[in-house]
């Protein structure tokens, strides 16, 4: 048992330092519960290490295909004011606004030549970021993929089950460069939560600096990333599930269709790449796709604010919000110790809201620990 558990967990580090697992229908079939978000549980710490923590689990529940994840109902989030899935139409970004946005504009040649930028664009993470930021925050930025790359973890530390009495496994990640490919682990879900993202006016998408501070134009004191505390999540469901996600998170990366920003009647409104034949022009336009009303297995990806979710210490006793100085959080601020389920501090009594005038995303649902296929950590 010990040997098999060690081999399973050590394989995570091997994958993190080589190639990622890719999305496949066989793996996503493991997500049995529809209408829920599934998102990563582990995080980057203040030393810029990604901690994959198996310490509280028994060897029997560790299998080659799973690592701990959280899951939450999509319906637990509050939709945009006045919006509902039964409406005849909904747009998180208006058509006239869409054509002017920086995310919509064509990449320049130096951006296209940076592998990480080009492949993030082709895999729609670039557009999902840009259009979600516009919908939620009302900001117009072209997201800097190089900023995300520059802030990826320095190391991956795997903590084994306590019962195994095995030392932490530490793997050093090589410094990022534009020569890397998307499957060399941007670890966007984790970097976004820890560091947020900036626009290309702050960090050009043409190259990745050796030092993070060289990434930015202007003073670091005035540097203000957006979407700190946000992360990627995946879901599965039918037409109504997709609509529920759009009116809560602003944009949905829907497999085989593209970035959905709304619907009109029985047509999805899609941010689609402009193609000249089979050639990608690396710009976007609005297109329409027929809504498959009988489709029950749409697979989608969204970006949402994880920090508004209260941590359940019963299921996650080792989370920073539940351990160390936060074990007794009465005299701690929410910046020092995030809100937990049953938190009596005044700041944790109110449901947080997003900026006025944008899509409001709030939560009043207790999350549960789930197990999700390990490929998701490499998105």
Name the more confident of 105 and 294.
105
pLDDT in tens, 205-257: 998 865 554 444 444 444 589 999 999 999 999 999 999 999 999 999 998 89
Lowest mean pLDDT among 18-22, 35-39, 269-273, 323-327: 18-22
Identify the pLDDT of residue 339: 82
From CA 94, how far away is CA 20, in angstroms rounded? 36
Measured distance CA(246)–CA(264) in Å, rounded: 13
CA atoms within 13 A on the CB side of 302: 31
CA-wise closest residue to 253 among 274, 238, 232: 232
Give 24-68 pLDDT, tens digit per residue.
343 344 466 889 888 887 889 999 999 887 776 665 555 545 556
Tell me how far apart the alpha carbons of residues 327 and 189 are, in angstroms, rounded to a whole number. 27
Closest CA to 234 of 331, 328, 375: 375
pLDDT tens digits for 340-358? Answer: 888 888 777 644 333 323 4
Query: How much is the pLDDT for 198?
Result: 94
The pLDDT value recorded for residue 358 is 46
Binned at pLDDT 50, 70 and 90, residue 315 comes out as low
124: left (phi over 0), alpha (psi -120 to 50) or beta: left
Q: Is the dihedral of CA 281, 283, 288, 292 positive or negative?
A: positive
C-alpha distances (whole Å) from 62 to each of 24, 48, 109, 294 are 21, 26, 45, 36
Spatial CA neighbour of 242 closest among 178, 291, 285:
291
What's the pLDDT band for 9 if we cut at 50, 70, 90? very low
- Hey, CA dihedral for 194, 115, 300, 280, is it positive or negative? positive
Q: pLDDT tens, 98-140?
A: 999 999 999 999 999 999 999 999 999 999 999 999 999 999 9
Q: Would you state the pLDDT for residue 259? A: 98
Q: Which of 69-78, 171-180, 211-220, 326-335 has the lowest mean pLDDT?
A: 211-220
Residue 169 pLDDT greater than 90, yes or no: no
- The length of the chain in residues reads 379
CA of residue 276 relative to chain centroid, distance: 30
Which among 262, 259, 271 is positioned nearest to 302, based on CA atoms?
259
Q: How far apart are CA 301 and CA 306, in angstroms?
A: 14
């Amino acid at each position: 048992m010990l040997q098999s558990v060690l081999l399973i967990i050590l394989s995570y580090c091997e994958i993190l330092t080589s190639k990622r697992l890719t999305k496949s229908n066989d793996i996503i079939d493991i997500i049995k519960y529809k209408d829920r978000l599934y998102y990563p549980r582990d995080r980057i710490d203040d030393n810029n290490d990604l901690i994959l923590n198996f310490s509280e689990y028994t060897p029997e529940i560790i299998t080659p295909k799973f690592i701990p994840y959280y899951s939450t109902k999509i319906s637990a989030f509050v939709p945009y004011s006045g919006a509902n899935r039964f409406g005849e139409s909904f747009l998180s970004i208006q058509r006239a606004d869409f054509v002017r946005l920086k995310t919509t504009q064509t990449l320049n040649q130096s951006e296209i030549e940076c592998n990480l930028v080009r492949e993030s664009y082709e895999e729609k993470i670039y557009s999902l970021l840009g259009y979600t930021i516009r919908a939620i925050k009302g900001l117009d930025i072209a997201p800097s993929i190089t900023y995300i790359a520059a802030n990826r973890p320095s190391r991956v530390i795997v903590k084994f089950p306590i019962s195994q009495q095995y030392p932490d496994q530490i793997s050093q990640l090589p410094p990022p460069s534009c020569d890397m490919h998307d499957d060399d682990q941007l670890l966007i879900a984790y970097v976004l939560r820890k560091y947020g993202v900036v626009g290309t006016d702050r960090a050009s998408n043409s190259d990745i600096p050796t030092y993070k501070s060289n990434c930015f134009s202007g003073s670091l004191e005035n540097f203000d990333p957006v979407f700190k505390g946000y992360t990627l999540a995946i879901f599965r469901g039918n037409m109504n599930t997709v609509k529920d996600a759009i009116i809560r998170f602003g944009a949905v990366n829907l497999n085989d269709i593209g970035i959905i920003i709304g619907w009109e009647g029985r047509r999805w409104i899609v941010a689609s790449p402009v193609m000249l034949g089979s050639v990608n022009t690396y710009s976007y336009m609005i297109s329409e796709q027929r809504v498959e009303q009988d489709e029950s297995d749409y697979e989608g990806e969204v970006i949402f604010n994880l920090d508004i979710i209260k941590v359940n210490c019963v299921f996650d006793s080792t989370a920073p919000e539940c351990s160390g100085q936060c074990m007794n959080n009465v005299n701690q601020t929410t910046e020092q110790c995030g809100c937990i389920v049953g938190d009596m501090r005044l700041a944790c009594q109110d449901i947080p809201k997003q900026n006025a005038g944008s899509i409001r995303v709030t939560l009043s649902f207790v999350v549960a620990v789930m197990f999700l296929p390990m490929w998701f950590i490499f998105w």
